């Protein structure tokens, strides 16, 4: 007799919200809720831990018999040797045994992966990456992340950092990055990066959204900043194509809504790739905001 397919709980820990889904054995969503991510307080880590465990327990309470896998996506990486969080832009998580602490509080094992990896896995299994063997997922939002899937499985690499192209340092005297380097891809291709480029050139702040809108309306200052952004996108994504030659590149995060990335940006990326006529599709995600939390559910143990 085959074992019934288990229920799956996925939790996506983001900078502004923590989201949970509960899927039944047929992958139907039977619960989906979110709570704000604690952002202040004397013990921020304890507050994030409490909020995450609280959502997991709430979902577990809906599962008949209480048997479910649990997977969690985090804005960081679990060091495979020490089991502690590294590379988190949510710095209160850094060096914490977040996975072990949650497993202990829930008294059951939990899987934990980088949120960009969860995004890439979800898009590989059920989104824009379906049918492609090697999928490179890009998150462009407040930061820049990336993930790599082969045959619907997350490829982690030796240190768990495979796909972290956002911290390739490409401008020697560029803006300082939270990772300690200067001029990382993240300082160019994030929303804050585009805004900072405008501030530097014109001495006053303007949000990325307003820059894009201004460029479309013909504002000369905005057009220069936006064109440089698309050029940086082309150069950096062209490098990914040359390095890995993925079958598809999928964009997610707030900036993935910029339509010009899929024509001008994609054309430039293919021009920068080391091939006379690369065919790499550079496409928008299909699962939208849901990719991270469903990817988390599908990594569950
Ligand atoms: Zn960096």
CA of 57 to the centre of ligand 1 (A): 35
CA of 175 to the centre of ligand 1 (A): 9
Residue 179 has pLDDT above 70, yes or no: yes
> Which residues on adjacent β-strands are paired with residue 18?
13, 35
Task: State pLDDT tens for residues 54-101.
Answer: 999 999 999 988 889 999 999 999 998 999 999 887 778 999 999 999
Which domains does the chain carry?
7-117+290-298 (3.30.420.40), 129-285 (3.30.420.40)
What percent of the chain shows pLDDT beyond 90?
A: 88
How high is the pLDDT of residue 42?
A: 84
Rounded mean pLDDT of 234-244? 97
What residues contact residue 14 under an 8 Å CB cut-off, 6+ apart? 37, 75, 115, 292
CA of 189 to the centre of ligand 1 (A): 12
CA of 160 to the centre of ligand 1 (A): 16
What percent of the chain shows pLDDT beyond 70?
A: 98
CA of 90 to the centre of ligand 1 (A): 14
How high is the pLDDT of residue 41?
A: 83
More confident residue, 92 or 246: 246
Residue 2 has pLDDT above 60, yes or no: no
CA of 294 to the centre of ligand 1 (A): 27
Rounded mean pLDDT of 19-43? 92
Identify the band that residue 27 occupies on the pLDDT scale cut at 50, 70 and 90.
confident
Rounded mean pLDDT of 232-241? 98
How high is the pLDDT of residue 5?
A: 63
Residue 1 has pLDDT above 80, yes or no: no
Torsion angle (degrees, nearest 10) of CA 191, 195, 200, 202 = 150
CA of 108 to the centre of ligand 1 (A): 34
Structural contact between residues 71 and 298, judged by C-beta atoms closer than 8 angstroms: yes
CA of 256 to the centre of ligand 1 (A): 20
Identify the band that residue 4 occupies on the pLDDT scale cut at 50, 70 and 90.
low
What is the rounded distance in angstroms from the CA atom of residue 101 to the CA atom of residue 79?
A: 15
How high is the pLDDT of residue 101?
A: 97
Q: Which residue matches tokens 């005297």?
A: 173
Instruction: Report CA 71 to chain centroid distance, whole Å.
Output: 15
Q: What are phi and psi of 233, to 5 degrees?
A: -60, -45
Q: Which residue matches tokens 């001495």?
A: 203
Residue 127 has pLDDT above 50, yes or no: yes
More confident residue, 24 or 66: 24
Mean of the per-residue pLDDT values of the chain: 94
CA distances (Å), origin 229, targets 17, 27, 33, 54, 191: 28, 39, 35, 40, 10
Task: State pLDDT tens for residues 144-155.
Answer: 999 999 999 999
CA of 161 to the centre of ligand 1 (A): 13
What residues contact residue 90 under an 8 Å CB cut-off, 6+ apart? 13, 15, 37, 48, 74, 75, 76
Residue 290 has pLDDT above 50, yes or no: yes
How high is the pLDDT of residue 3?
A: 57
CA of 62 to the centre of ligand 1 (A): 40
CA of 181 to the centre of ligand 1 (A): 5
CA of 33 to the centre of ligand 1 (A): 32
How high is the pLDDT of residue 64?
A: 87
CA of 169 to the centre of ligand 1 (A): 7
């Amino acid at each position: 007799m085959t074992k019934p397919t288990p229920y799956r709980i996925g939790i996506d820990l983001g900078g502004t919200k923590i989201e949970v889904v509960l899927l039944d054995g047929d992958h139907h969503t039977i619960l989906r809720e979110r709570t704000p991510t604690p952002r202040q307080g004397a013990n921020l880590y304890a507050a994030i831990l409490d909020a995450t465990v609280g959502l997991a327990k709430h979902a577990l309470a809906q599962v008949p018999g209480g048997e479910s896998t649990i997977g969690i996506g985090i804005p960081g990486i679990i060091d495979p040797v020490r089991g502690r969080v590294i590379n988190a832009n949510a710095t209160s998580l850094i060096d914490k045994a977040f996975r072990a602490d949650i497993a202990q509080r829930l008294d059951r094992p939990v899987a934990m992966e980088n949120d960009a990896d969860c995004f890439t896995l979800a898009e590989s299994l059920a989104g824009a990456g379906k049918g492609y063997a090697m999928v490179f997922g890009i998150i462009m939002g407040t930061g820049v992340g990336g993930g790599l899937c082969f045959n619907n499985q997350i490829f982690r690499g030796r240190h768990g950092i495979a796909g972290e192209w956002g911290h390739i340092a490409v401008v020697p005297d560029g803006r300082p990055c939270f990772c300690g380097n200067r001029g990382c891809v993240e300082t160019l291709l994030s929303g804050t990066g585009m805004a900072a480029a405008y501030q530097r050139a014109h001495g006053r702040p303007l949000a990325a959204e307003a820059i894009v809108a201004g460029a479309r309306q013909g504002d000369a200052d905005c057009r220069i900043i936006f064109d440089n952004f698309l050029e940086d996108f082309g150069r950096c994504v062209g490098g990914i194509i040359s390095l890995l030659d993925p079958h598809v590149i999928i964009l997610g995060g707030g900036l993935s809504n910029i339509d010009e990335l899929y024509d001008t940006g994609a054309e430039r990326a293919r021009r920068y790739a080391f091939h006379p006529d690369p065919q790499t599709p550079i496409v928008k995600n299909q699962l939208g905001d849901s990719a991270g939390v469903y990817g988390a559910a599908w990594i569950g143990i």
